[in-house]
Structure 1
Amino acid sequence: MSHLELKRQVYEANMELHLRKLVVLTWGNVSQIDRAAGIIAIKPSGVAYDQLRAEDMVLVDLENRVVDSRLRPSSDTKTHTHLYRHFDTIGGVTHTHSTYATAWAQTQQAIPCFGTTHADYAYGDIPCTALMTDEQIARDYEEETGVQITECYRGRNPMEAPMVIVAGHAPFTWGRNAHDAVSHAVILEEIARMAYLTRTLRADTGPLKQAITDKHYLRKHGKNAYYGQK
């Protein structure tokens, strides 16, 4: 993929995030990696969405070195690159401070699978990381945010739940590419809102029956999946 095409795709994904009203001011970013080239395109830091252009997307390598840009990359770049280094099946990452998902982050709680909407897109709960320690904060905050996430997924396939709640912070999502990661951010916000309303209506609601969870997840993602078109 050319650098121009990579930038264009990441620009469009960032604008989709803005269109979906998942970001306020400059509170969010999307990236995508070209695995063959080892290059990542990401939103520049602190630039308003109505001022963004495709050529403004910043190219960095997996060690956070800027490859091509007149602007500084997102302040969350080290979190994105950490995820790309440790989750080798992902191709895009999205970070927002969307309202309901962030509320779950601020309560430091995972989102249980209460219903089939959740089960269609994430197998099991949407996990919440451990709270960052003082030692981590004193090191490299953005890199350590990535560590929080990858530690949370130790022993778990990141594509089975392509979305996470970072304790005290906000959500991150990922997917096959930038567009996929943004779609998961949209889905996560809806799941978070539904879960909040579920708990509000009935505080002692338990997780969905496992057999129903399995059916809904596997009909979309299993080897014998039949949802959608071939």
Structure 2
Amino acid sequence: MSYLELKREAYEANMELQTRNLIIYTWGNVSQVDRDKNVMAIKPSGVPYESLKPEHLVIVDLENNNTVEGDLRPSSDTKTHTHLYRHFETIGGVTHTHSTYATAWAQAQCAIPCYGTTHADFAYGEVPCTAIITDEQIERDYENETGVQITNTFEALNAEEVPMVIVAGHAPFTWGKNAAQSVYHAVVLEEMARMAYLTKTLSPNVQPLKQSIVDKHYQRKHGNNAYYGQK
């Protein structure tokens, strides 16, 4: 894929955040990786979506976070994105937002339990919440350590089965096979977070959905013998 194509796909995914009302002002960013070239395209730092153009996106190498192409500074979250690409080798896109309900769960430092089949259709079990970042991590390399928070949380989890996370005290990150799918998961996560909040409000003692129903709904959509949708 050419840098122009990579920028275009990442740009379109970034603009989808605005279309889906997941961001205001500059509160978000999306990237897409090119594994063959070992680079990603990411939104530039602090550029309003209203003035963003495909040529503004910045090409960054995954190993050293150096700008390969572009005149603007890449997102301040760049090192978090590159860390995720280096550790989750099957993903092709990453989205970060401060969407209202998902961020509320982050600020409460709570995982999002699976209360119903809507959640189970998209994430196998709860959406985990990371540990709160330590002072040592903040001083060492805050943005990279945010990625470490996430990958540490997934040591016993499958990043394909749960393509989303709540970063404690911060906000959500989602990922997918490309930038567009990572945004799709961000939209889904915000709805799941809202539903879970309302469920917990209506029934404070509600328990997570029983595992057999979680298994059924997740597997019928994502399992080896999935039968949801069209072939």
Tell me the TM-score range normalised by the shorter chain: over 0.9
CA root-mean-square deviation? 0.4
Task: Specify the code of the residue in structure 2 equivalent to 1:197.
Answer: L
Q: Indicate the SS of the match to 2:143.
A: helix
Structure 1 counterpart of 2:51, one-letter code: Q
Q: Summarize the alignment of residues 136-151 of structure 1 with structure 2, pairs less than 5 Å apart.
A: 136-151=137-152
TM-score (norm 1): 0.99
Aligned to 1:190: 191
What does residue 61 of structure 1 align with? 61
Q: Does 1:155 align with 2:156?
A: yes
Which residue matches 1:51? 51
Match of 1:202 in 2: 203
2:27 aligns with 27
Q: Where does 1:80-159 land on structure 2 (aligned, <5 Å)?
A: 80-159=81-160
Deviation at 1:20, TM superposition (A): 0.5
2:212 aligned partner, one-letter code: A
Question: Helix, strand or coil for the counterpart of 1:124?
Answer: coil
* TM-score computed with the length of structure 2 as normaliser: 0.99
Give per-residue Cα distances to partners, 1:92-135, cap 9 Å, x unaligned: 00000000000000000000000000000000100000000111
Q: Deviations over 1:36-80 (max 9, x none)?
A: 111100000000001000111100001201000010000000000
Moved >2 Å (runs of 4+): none
Question: Using the alignment, how far apart are the partners of 2:230 and 2:100 within structure 1?
Answer: 33
The alignment partner of 1:121 has SS state of coil
Q: Which residue of 2 aligns with 1:170?
A: 171
**C-alpha separation between the residues in 2 aligned to 1:153 and 1:162?**
10
Paired residue secondary structure (1:33):
strand
Identity of aligned residues (%): 71
Look up the SS of the partner of 2:220 in the other structure: helix
Equivalent pairs counted in the alignment come to 230
- TM-aligned CA deviation for residue 155 of structure 1: 2.0
* Structure 1: segments with no counterpart, 5+ residues: none
Query: CA offsets, 1:20-47, max 9 Å, x none?
Result: 0100110000000000111100000000
